[in-house]
């Protein structure tokens, strides 16, 4: 089994799946970091004992998938939201403001924690009301149908070394109470994901607004990538 210290450039930036394995969660195959599979399955079993049918809204996401999300938002083909969840007019924003608005809710391709296979957007499928689509909006977890599951995660996730990297709004990524991360694995990945690595990745794999992103990569790195909540 690969050790968490053995990350390489391609794995960290979503350009390789060699660090992943497949597990089945509620009849769905999910790609997970090899060192995290056991902890994730244990979390699912513990939750099931308490009546929660765990489902993964989003797990591993490669660079191409993240680039598609980014480009569609940048071009106005997919909604860009403000901090309160209201839709913005992408064409009315400056390039710099557009990039910051996207980064509030969507990671920079190459820098998404979902590239690592140790971060998951979770929900309890059996708590989702019939004929209702999950929105992945904070109210669902703080006061809505996912609140019991979220409270359970707050009390139990840490024993399996999971934490919420976006539990607080620190002026970077908005609050994401659905986003759970395996601490040991993700901490090592984050330390090894450098600005120079990101610059090289985006230089070789351009995204919409690449020139502006690279111009401000220092501040983007500190505001949206390393600026996470403690456990």
In a domain, 20, yes or no: yes
In a domain, 4, yes or no: no
User: Residue 74's domain is classified under what CATH number?
Assistant: 3.30.1380.10
In a domain, 149, yes or no: yes
Q: Return the structure tokens found at 148.
A: 């019991």
In a domain, 231, yes or no: no
pLDDT of residue 231: 52
In a domain, 87, yes or no: yes
**Strand ranges (DSSP E) for 1-71?**
20-25, 28-33, 54-58
Instruction: Give CA–CA dist 57/50, Å, rounded.
Output: 20
Q: How many domains does the chain have?
A: 1
Q: Angle at CA 214, nearest 5°, toward 209 and 217? A: 120
Instruction: Give CA–CA dist 69/72, Å, rounded.
Output: 5
pLDDT average per 10 residues of sequence, the chain (231 residues): 72 98 94 98 98 97 98 93 84 92 96 98 97 95 98 97 97 97 97 97 97 97 95 52
Q: How many angstroms separate the first and last alpha carbons of the chain?
A: 27
In a domain, 151, yes or no: yes
pLDDT digits (tens, 9 = 90+) for 9-65: 999 999 999 999 999 998 899 999 999 999 999 999 999 999 999 999 999 999 999
In a domain, 116, yes or no: yes
In a domain, 2, yes or no: no
pLDDT digits (tens, 9 = 90+) for 82-92: 887 788 988 88
Q: Which domain holds residue 212?
A: 9-225
pLDDT of residue 89: 86
């Amino acid at each position: 089994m690969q050790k968490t210290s053995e990350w390489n450039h391609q794995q960290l930036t979503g350009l390789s799946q060699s660090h992943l394995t497949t597990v089945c969660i509620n009849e769905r195959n999910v790609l997970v970091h090899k060192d995290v599979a056991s902890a994730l399955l244990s979390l699912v079993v513990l939750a099931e004992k308490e009546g929660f049918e765990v489902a993964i809204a989003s797990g591993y996401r490669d660079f191409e998938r993240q680039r598609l999300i980014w480009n569609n938002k940048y071009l106005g083909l997919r909604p860009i939201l403000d901090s309160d969840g209201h839709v913005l007019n992408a064409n009315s924003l400056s390039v710099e403001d557009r990039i910051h608005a996207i980064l509030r809710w969507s990671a920079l391709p190459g820098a998404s924690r979902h590239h690592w296979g140790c971060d998951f957007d979770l929900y309890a499928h059996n708590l989702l009301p019939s004929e209702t689509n999950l929105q992945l909006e904070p109210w669902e977890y703080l006061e809505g149908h996912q609140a019991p599951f979220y409270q359970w995660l707050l009390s139990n996730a840490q024993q399996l070394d999971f934490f919420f990297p976006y539990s607080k709004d620190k002026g970077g990524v908005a609050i994401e109470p659905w986003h759970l991360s395996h601490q040991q694995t993700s901490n090592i990945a984050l330390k090894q994901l450098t600005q120079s690595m990101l610059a090289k990745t985006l230089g070789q794999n351009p995204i919409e607004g690449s020139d502006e992103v690279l111009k401000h990569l220092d501040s983007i790195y500190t505001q949206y990538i390393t600026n996470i909540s403690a456990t």
